[in-house]
Amino acid sequence: MNTECEYIQSRMHEYFDDELDYEMSLRIKKHLEHCSECREIYEKISKLSNLIKQSFNSSSESISL
């Protein structure tokens, strides 16, 4: 893993959560276009996020008051 990847990965959560300024987001976005290793990490975060949202979003399985 090169230093750029290391740096990108250290900011990945902030990137995913839209907490970075425009310039920094763009840098990560560009990096993800060509680096499969970092992209995999990003996709894992995204997948987890979807699972969490789905797990609480149910009409069939309502939680009783």
Q: Which residues bind other proteins (CB under 8 A)?
A: 13-14, 17, 19, 44-45, 47-49, 51-56, 58, 60-61, 63-65
- The binding site for Zn ion (CB under 5 A) comprises 5, 35, 38
Q: Which two tokens stand for residue 13?
A: 């959560």
Which of 36, 62 has the CB closer to Zn ion?
Answer: 36
**Cβ neighbours of residue 28 closer than 8 Å, sequence gap 6 or more:** 8, 11, 12, 15, 20
52 binds, among other proteins, Zn ion, none (CB under 5 to 8 A by kind): other proteins
